Amino acid sequence: MKLHEYAGHDATGLAELVRRREVTTVELIRLARKAHDQINPTINAVIEFYEDAESVSGSDTGPFAGVPFLRKDIGASEAGRLQEQGSRLFNGFRSTVESYFMQRARAGGLRIVGRTTTPELGVGMARMSESLTNGITRNPWQLDRTSGGSSSGSAAAVAAGIVPIAHASDSLGSTRTPAAFCGLVGLNPSRGRISGGPDQQDSGLGLGRYFVVCRSVRDMAAALDVFSGTHPGDPFVIPPPERPYVEELGRPTARLRVGVATSPWGERKVEPEIRAAVERTAKSLEMMGHLVEEMSSPYALADMRTVEAGACVIWMAALDDAARALGRTVDEQTIDPVNLEFYRAAQRLPLSYVAEVFEAQRKVRADVGEAIKGFDILLTPTLPCTALPHSTITTINEGVTIDQFRDASQSLYQFQGVFNITGQPSVSLPLFHDRGGLPIGIQIVARFGDEATLVRVACDLEQAIPWSTRRPPVFAGCG
């Protein structure tokens, strides 16, 4: 198999070749390494490609048998492997925990061959796809643009063809943002669909979820089958699906009521080309027989600000315990200046602040539930803009407060973070590009626990507006 042939397949396609014995697992891993060696110096997406990658374990019978897979360097962990979280504070740290997510990855046949970049501590609003530790991760579609955060390296690596699928996680948009910026499929599953255990079952008070970024809806569906399932001790219980998600592919989709958002839900305006892309998607859904209706923002902006600020405070407050365990201190030598400001702000808040955050979460859930109760799915932009130039959101300049910085970030994620709070599943699909060639992500949101409808609708849209032949200028085996 030639490199461009490897890079042109999705994960399901590569696994089928392995099953037919047209290629071996070792050959695929060697091709992934070759793609890495060719592409990574340009985009800086992979921190470490394991020296022992050809001998890593994985099922020979799972749906992704033999497929190379990369792990985001925060969240789900591999026992004995480095997990440095894009931070000097965690430099050299090796996890002792094998997460359930990685256990399921191996059981599904994936070969974990390395780890990808993330902004420091996964705080994508601070540095998008940049960190002082690992530098800038560049977008394969346009190198002067961010690949998004915080699953920045995973998205860039998949978009550029190093691997067809990679680990991602999402607390306020960290899977869907890089998926949108890099032209990929990025699903944030329902809360409780995928376990964060054994040590992160309640990440960010239930805001965070693990999944993947990939290139096709069939890979998304197969990955749901691989990673879904609860474990003892998980705090959220969710009904299992009626059937395997791959069996939803191509199933008829009943007529749905679709709430469409073309107006802003935050202070940042939706760019005209993105609004037009949403309208074109709505027209496609209407032609499929669905009922389409415009909707306005379902939440109060002040409540969202409180929740997102509170989430950042809670993340930063946990740094003291980590620092003590590592024999280090949280200061200018270990933490990025922006995150250090957030950390110091967290230290100044009273414990009673948590009650304000919980109340704001309750209000958001109640308001959104009431506003969207008449819709089966929602259609929104993933983001109000395409990929930003590097360093657009990086520093707190003189005269700019943390609150102003945070508000600017919230306006970017205005269509995403709300569904981390409600727990609903949402997916960014790479349906369009702007005039400059940058991907435009379109978000579809379903009712809680209804990933099956998302799979069916996403499959319908993939057929109506196909994207599989699009390739970024920086792509393995090309040139």
pLDDT digits (tens, 9 = 90+) for 144-183: 999 999 999 999 999 999 999 999 999 999 999 999 999 9
| Residue (of 179, 135, 189) closest to 158 by Cα position | 179
Q: Which of 94-98, 318-322, 347-351 has the lowest mean pLDDT?
A: 347-351
CA nearest to 454, candidates 424, 433, 423 = 424
What was the pLDDT predicted at 400?
57
Structure-model confidence comparison of residues 436 and 404, the more confident one? 436
Q: Which of 97, 102, 12, 130 is nearest to 63 (CA)?
A: 12
- Asked if residue 399 has pLDDT above 60, the reply is no
pLDDT tens digits, 35-67: 999 999 999 999 999 999 999 999 999 999 999
Contact 147, 387 (CB under 8 A): yes
DSSP 8-state code for residue 156: H
Nearest residue to 19 (alpha-carbon basis) of 68, 59, 67, 65: 65
What distance in Å separates the CA atoms of residue 115 and residue 83, rounded to the nearest whole number?
A: 8
Give the type of residue at 290. Answer: H
Taking Cα atoms as reference points, which of 357, 325, 329 lies closest to residue 344?
A: 329
Predicted pLDDT of residue 125: 60
If pLDDT is split at 50, 70 and 90, which confidence band does 453 have?
A: very high
Q: What is the pLDDT of residue 275?
A: 98
Decide if pLDDT at 312 tops 90: no
Burial string for 264-279 (b: 16+ CB within 10 Å, else e) reads bbbebebbebbbebbe
Sheet containing strand 257-260, strands side by side:
46-49, 111-116, 68-72, 165-170, 209-214, 185-188, 426-433, 439-446, 377-381, 257-260, 291-294
Amino acid identity of residue 195, one-letter, is: S
Looking at the chain, the whole-number percentage of residues with pLDDT higher than 70 is: 97
Strand, helix or coil for residue 280: helix
- The reported pTM is 0.97
Report the pLDDT value the prediction gives residue 338, as an integer from 0 to 100.
82
CA separation for the pair 362, 400 (Å, rounded): 30
Indicate the burial class of 35 (C-beta count within 10 angstroms; 0-12, 13-18, 19 or more): buried
3-state secondary structure 378-437: EEEECCCCCCCECCCCCCCCCCCCHHHHHHHHHHHCCCCHHHHHHCCCEEEEEEEECCCC
State the number of CA atoms in the 13 A half-sphere of 246 facing the CB: 10
CB atoms within 10 A of CB 243: 11
| Whole-number pLDDT of residue 278 | 98
Residue 479 binned pLDDT confidence (cut-offs 50, 70, 90) = low
Q: Which helix (H) or strand (E) holds 115?
A: strand 111-116
Q: What is the largest CA-CA distance in the chain?
A: 62
Report the pLDDT value the prediction gives residue 128, as an integer from 0 to 100: 86
Q: How far apart are CA 252 and CA 290, in angstroms?
A: 12
CATH for 3-464 is 3.90.1300.10
Asked if 420 and 172 touch (Cβ cutoff 8 Å), the reply is: yes
Alpha helix (H) ranges present in 210-253? 217-227
460-473, pLDDT tens digit by residue? 999 999 999 999 99
Chain centroid, CA 92 distance in Å: 25
pLDDT at residue number 137? 97
Write the DSSP string, 169-180: EESSSTTHHHHH
* Residue positions annotated with a catalytic role: 72, 150, 174
CA 246 to chain centroid, in Å, comes to: 21
* Dihedral (Cα; 151, 152, 157, 159), 10-degree rounding: 90
